[in-house]
Amino acid sequence: MSVCLGFAILLTFYGLASSLLKAWSERSH
C-alpha cells in the first residue's frame, strides 16, 4: 500500500466522519 493511497483513504474517512458527526449534531439538537 502506497503512502498516497493511505493518505487518500484517511482523508476520505475524515471527511465521512466529519459529515456524519455534523449531521448527528444537528439531528441531536
**Quick count: other Cβ atoms within 10 Å of Cβ 5?**
9
Distance CA 28, CA 20 (A): 12
**For 1-29, what is each residue's pLDDT tens digit?**
699 999 999 999 999 999 999 999 998 87
The alpha helices in 1-29, defined as continuous H runs, are: 3-28
pTM over 0.75, yes/no? no
Distance CA 22, CA 28 (A): 10
* pLDDT value of position 29: 77
Annotate 6-20 with b (16+ C-beta within 10 A) or e (fewer): eeeeeeeeeeeeeee
